[in-house]
Amino acid sequence: MKDARLRWRVRHRVVASAAVLLAGVATAADLQISPITLEFGPTQQGQGVWLRNSGGGPVDAQVRVLRWSQNDGQETLEPTRELLPTPSFIRIEPGGQQLVRIVRVRPQAPEAELTYRLLIDELPVTRASSAAGTAGSDAEEQAQQQVGLRFLLRYSVPVFVAPTQASPSPSAAPASPALQASWQAGTPTVLSIANSGNRRVRISRLVHEDAGGKRTLLAPGLLGYVLAGKTMQWPLKAGPGLGAGQLKALLDDDENEQTLPMARGRP
């Protein structure tokens, strides 16, 4: 790999990879993951993730932890040895489950929140790897022919390590000065949100409200995260005609809409 950093634009939900097997009918995997977010205390050493296979065939997967950051308004993922998954390669039979332990190598309290991504990549189940049970049987071969094309999925789970003294969550401190929003008119209009706090902020259901009270929904669901001390950018489908007004959104787990502070000199 020419660049050790993996740069992806991700919306922090389960996404499908481009890996494809045989030609035929597309099917989805039945791998279930719990919990969907991991939060470590400042000195906590380990946590667990349960993987369950509710499908009719075995699931093989690779488990990795990557350091998650944001640079130049984009997501970056880098290899790390700070958190280690055990086991890192798994096989789950139909109806089975597997506990994966995530262990911090040096559980020291950080000054700012540490952020990672737990990636679970499905692997092709080869004829050799499915030797247990009914491998090679006529029933399995017929099932493989019926399945044909199969998409392999990548599951991305956010992992956070809390700092010793975290900045107040915006949900606990409305209109938190830790957040500053601005946008740059164009096609598309680009929204920038800076977070000067020492913990991440999750932003969803973004709305623009003009001086007359007209509301334009810019992001109906999750917009994304802004990590501690970072700035993120998103293109807005609404175009350059927003004009002056306010940006409002749901922050973290708060169900009450809040107004995002705007940087000076911006609409």
Report d(CA 103, CA 172) in Å as an integer: 30
Residue 193 and residue 203 in contact, taking contact as beta carbons nearer than 8 Å: yes
- 236 shares its domain with 105: no
**265 in a domain, yes or no?**
no
Last residue of a domain, one of 115, 133, 161: 161
Q: In angstroms, rounded to a whole number, what is the distance separating the alpha carbons of residues 259 and 257?
A: 7
Do 136 and 27 share a domain, yes or no? Answer: yes
**pLDDT of res. 16:** 36
Same domain, 75 and 124: yes
Distances (CA, A) of 143 to 29, 61, 170: 14, 20, 51
Report how many domains make up the chain: 2
Q: For position 163, what pLDDT does the model report?
A: 94
Residue 11 in this model has a pLDDT that exceeds 60: no
- 121 and 42 fall within a common domain: yes
Interval 176-212: pLDDT, tens = 568 999 988 777 788 999 999 999 999 999 999 988 8
Which of 161, 188, 220 delimits the end of a domain? 161
Token look-up 């050493």 returns: 45
Residue 38 shares a structural domain with residue 156: yes
Same domain, 20 and 103: yes
pTM above 0.85, yes or no: no
Q: What's 190's domain CATH number?
A: 2.60.40.10
Give the integer Cα–Cα distance in Å for 144 and 244.
57
pLDDT digits (tens, 9 = 90+) for 158-168: 999 999 887 76
Task: Using the predicted structure, report yes or no on whether residue 135 has a pLDDT greater than 70.
Answer: no
**Percent of the chain surpassing pLDDT 70:** 73
Residues 92-129: tens digit of each pLDDT: 999 999 999 999 999 899 999 999 999 999 999 875 55
Q: Are residues 130 and 211 in the same domain?
A: no
* Residues 19 and 129 reside in one and the same domain: yes
Average pLDDT over residues 53-66: 94
Give the residue from 126, 161, 196 where a domain finishes: 161
One domain, residues 38 and 153: yes
Contact 99, 82 (CB under 8 A): no
Question: Parallel, antiparallel, or unpaired for β 114-123 and 59-71?
Answer: antiparallel
Tell me the residue ranges of DSSP E strands in the chain. 15-20, 31-34, 38-40, 46-53, 59-71, 74-79, 83-86, 89-92, 97-104, 114-123, 151-161, 179-184, 189-195, 201-210, 215-226, 231-236, 245-251, 258-260
In a shared domain, residues 187 and 152: no
Domain that holds residue 185: 179-260
Three-class SS of residue 113? coil
19 alpha-carbon distance from chain centroid: 19
For residue 173, being part of any structural domain is answered with no
